[in-house]
Chains A and B, each alone.
Chain A
Amino acid sequence: MIALVDYGAGNLTSVRKALTAIDARFWTPSAPRELDRAAGIIVPGVGHFSTTASLDDEWREAIRAALARGVPLFGICVGLQWLFDGSSEADGVPGFGVVSGTCRLLKGNQPPASEYPPLGESGPVWKGTETGSPLLKVPHVGWNSLRFPRPSRLFSGVPDGTQVYFTHSYAAPLVPASAAVTTHGVAFSSAIEDGLVAGVQFHPEKSGNAGLRILRNWLEGVHQHQSAPPSGEAHP
């Protein structure tokens, strides 16, 4: 069974629906000790990094213990950011710290208002560029492409350049664990994968068939770990 950790960071309806669509068996644990029976753990999340403060020492211990037993961990959106040391969105709130680095605000821009003439009945129209607006808006909302710096389990069978749905303002740095890179002004880690730990900044549950494929890839990894637990460790 997959443990879908609900720590009050937004709505899990979409994630539940997607997990159901890929035939995953899952439940929402009401206490950290329930993670004893998890075959895989998902930490979802939308919204502010500070909500991850609800993942207190007890939860962290239980997740660490699960990792030590060979249970895969998957973070989505703020859940991915939480895997890092922290985020400048909430300086006092430490991340889980299994990946080194700090998440930072994407930098948008806004040209001076004087560039745009006031509207009139037949006022001048801003001409635009060949490919559209040069404005870099933050939050980064919409479909953007994944570039893969190396092969990974998560993106097995997913073509380089596949587009997925993002909605976020803060982003994770590029690290050795980066499994996918996306650019919005700057390049950031749109996914990480390092052994049992994986995470995606985008929303696989909102990214059509590509998103379901990525979730399925993670789930297959969980099943493989289940059938081959790490040697020398007691399996509960």
Chain B
Amino acid sequence: MTGLSKRIIACLDVRDGQVVKGVNFAGLREAGDPAALARRYNVEGIDEIVILDITATLEARQARAHTIGAVAREIFLPLCVGGGIRTEEDAAAAVDAGADKVSLNTAALQNPGLITTLARRYGSQAVVVAIDAKRQGGRLAVYGRSGQAETARDAVGWAREATDRGAGEILLTSIDRDGTKSGFDCELTAAVSSAVNIPVIASGGAGSFEHFAEVFTAGRADAALAASIFHFNEHSVEHLKQFLATRGVPVRL
């Protein structure tokens, strides 16, 4: 039996140096200073932090080094950075600023070879491929450009290809559930998680403690990521983990 804990990851969606979070990628509202939030999460027992510069890809900007640096100074936890990582140089800038992992989304769809390039340079453990998926009938369509551009790819197939190309983890977001607080898409997560032999982080839809328990069991997720449920003090990470422990889900307390 594995002693590996299920990870709880806080996502900081950053725009103009501030944490924001919207519903279905639109209607953003302000949630605060990234470093202050990271500090709070660290005290509460978060397992990892993801910084996503959600407007970066659209505006062709790099994730901001100063935001990464400010968060990295506050916490001694794994830190992943995504948003606008288009080239090897963008990834190097994020790593130099203090990121342990970079998350590729649109750039990997456009240039899958970038996954391999970065895996060779930094190791697979440093390369996360983010997949934004939306149900289209029976299909799990992959979207690029912050959920705005549908691609011909299917989430399971793309996750397998990304793994073969050297990705170390998959960050899987359900566009349908994102920001809705109606629960993770467990079917989607289970389909991807059982198709690859690398960790899958479930994202999109966290609204209650029960949702996390579901995605770690029926959804077969290795980690779960949430933003708004933590940002607005609705639920503390500590209480969530205590709840999961009572449900038999292995967590770091």
Contacts and interface: CB of A to CB of B under 8 A. Distances in A.
Given A126-B220, A208-B42, A139 B198 contact: yes
A123 B187 CA distance: 8
Contact of B217 (A130, A140, A168, A182): A130
A159 to B, nearest CB: 12
Interface in A146-203: 163, 165, 167-168, 182-185, 203
B122 A11 contact: yes
Interface footprint category on A: 35 or more
B197 interface: yes
Interface stretch (B71-79, B106-114, B145-153): B71-79
Contact of B125 (A17, A118, A133, A139): A139
Given A116-B191, A126-B190, A206-B76, A133 B218 contact: no
Given A126-B218, A163-B252, A140 B4 contact: yes
A90 interface: no
A131 B1 CA distance: 10
Contact of A182 (B3, B72, B73): B3
Given A11-B95, A206-B78, A108 B4 contact: no
B166 to A, nearest CB: 11
A62 interface: no
Interface in A43-91: 46-48
A113 B195 CA distance: 7
Most A-side CB within 10 Å, residue of B199, B218, B249: B199
B215 to A, nearest CB: 10
Given A165-B78, A183-B3, A206-B78, A137 B220 contact: no
A168 B190 CA distance: 23
Nearest to A211: B76
A168 B100 CA distance: 14
A14 B78 CA distance: 9
A76 to B, nearest CB: 13
Contacts of B96: 11, 13
B140 interface: yes
A67 B123 CA distance: 30
Interface string B226-252: 000000000000000000000011101
Interface string B139-164: 01000000000000000000000000
A13 B98 contact: yes
B182 interface: no
B126 interface: yes
Interface of A: 10-11, 13-14, 17-18, 21, 46-48, 108, 110-111, 113, 115-116, 118-121, 123, 125-133, 135-145, 163, 165, 167-168, 182-185, 203, 205-209, 211-212
Top 4 A-B pairs, shortest CB-CB distance: A47-B123, A128-B217, A167-B125, A163-B252
Interface of B: 1-7, 42, 47, 72-73, 75-78, 95-98, 100, 122-126, 137-138, 140, 168-169, 186-188, 190-191, 193-195, 197-199, 216-223, 248-250, 252
